[in-house]
Structure 1
Amino acid sequence: MDERFDSWHDHMFQQVVAPMMITCDDPASFRGSIESIDLGAVHVSAVEASPCEAYRTSRMIRQSDPELFQIAFNLRGETAITQDRRCVLSQPSYLVLYHTSRPHQIRTGFSKETTYGVMVVFPATLLPLPLHKVERLTATPLSGREGIGALISGFLTRLVNGSDQYRMADRLRLGTVLTDLLTALLAHRLEADTVVPPASRQRILLLRIHAFMQQHLADPQLSPATIAAAHGISIRTLHRLFQTQDTTVAAWIRTQRLNRCRRDLSDPTLHDRPIHAIATRWGFTDVTNFSHAFSTAYGLNPRDYRRQLGQSARFLK
């Protein structure tokens, strides 16, 4: 076998999650890479590999079983995952759950293509859900395009693309967020939301609200009333949620809008776009108020900020 495949096989067999046997139809041309990030008890890896097959047998389980759940999130290519007499063909944006405690098989690259995705590994004891119920969801497709699944897929994509930006304290917090999101997704499928701890439900609701606000920043009608109505909560509840963030709803919206405006003012391809058009694009209806808020936040008014960036760019040339 090719050395590249030998190295991949040894690494996956000995170090990743739990021992698995891996085979490949064409070892000579095999390519594989794995980049990992530890989030405390949760482990996330971006995995790219040529077509191969991995399986975990009853004998392997008897020899070693860390009792972990895994979630595979495909970004490119197709992966077939078989467990508990179920088989799912995981296509891009699918999330698929499986468990180390029972035999399973994973096959990638049906069209001779390289498969790329994210693997999440976490202890079964980390979920505040009955194990026998969660096991009903192994080898079943969970959508990553809508609802809580969309939050998870977006979270994982951004996480692996910026893994070098997080300090250890950041990673531990991100691990808690990811656990809460996974709990919410599985509980939703099991219709068991009542077993999710209140603190987790609150954090998940706040994540959904943040995502909604980001999507509607350009709408000048975005307000506590519209946000609360979209999530079926009272305005008082919304304000109480934001008290845990040490900010207000209005301040959060203003900060995000200013960040978007600053980004546009920094973009050389938008240097001909009027400042008032940029402000309007991100929900500011009063240019004077926008200019004052921008100056307070960044120490320069929008025109001087853009001019200073332009001068710096010309100097660097």
Structure 2
Amino acid sequence: MPMGLDIVVSGPAPTQLPGAGRPQPARRAHRLVARDSGEYLFVGIRGAAGVRGGSGAHSPRQPEDVFLTPGDICFYDAHDPAALDFPECFRTKVFLVPYESLGLCETDVRRLAGTSVPRMSRLGSLLSPFLSELADTASSSRPPVGELLAWNAVNVLATLATERLGRDATCTPDARTPMMARILEFIDLHLTDEDLSPETIAGAHHISARYLHRLFQDEGTTVGRWIQRRRLEECRRDLMIRVRGGRTIAAVANRWGFMSATHFSRVFRAAYGMSPSEWRDTVGRGTPASRR
């Protein structure tokens, strides 16, 4: 699955939601309560840094009940899973995905934990059955098909997260300062420059490199990681668009600032769960033009 996405399909009631750590009842800010037996969809958001959910790591509080009906989609922090209060007979389908893959920051994760998309809402009625079927199909499909389905799942979940956060989401472009918006635009315009660095970015905006790093820290990432992520996204897009164009993987990598093909292949696999050639071949098999 791409970008560390895991899909967990379970039958009888689990004792706890899948997560990265042991259960910590004193820190849980939410208790998920089922209104009836049936199937429930969960989105577990995780991060390498150990994102913590709504209660915070230092001030435990009483759980807040979140009531769910069958078919509802609920977000939770995979590093601090919510408590379950469900009937004996229910089924779960859980999507575990890194928060960066959803375009979120740590603050967004704290705001999303415990929020749900009701099955009877406009988005829920459209996406709940789609995600349910996608979970079954992706988890049982061979790698090429499973990878493409999983990409669809990530895009759908990112849309849901954006909808839940609303216009005032902490880390969405609309909420960024004008300075940060200009910096991100500058980075996008200079992604092909091999000398793009924190120093050149800071100098172009007449700020110190230290202040630049602080701005990205507030976004939950670093300057280097942001640049690498954007370059990888452009490389992945180029490999998909130019699958029949004859351009080599090394040429695509070099165009977007990766001077070492070995390094590019390593970071591409770490980000997307497959090598650049595997991604190109998968897209090639999945496009109608490639089957002519």
The answer to whether TM tops 0.5 is no
TM-score computed with the length of structure 2 as normaliser: 0.41
User: Normalising by structure 1, what TM-score?
Assistant: 0.38
Larger Rg: 1
Task: Report 1 or 2 for greater relative contact order, CA contacts < 8 Å, sequence distance ≥ 6.
Answer: 2
Write 1 or 2 for the structure with the bigger share of strand: 1
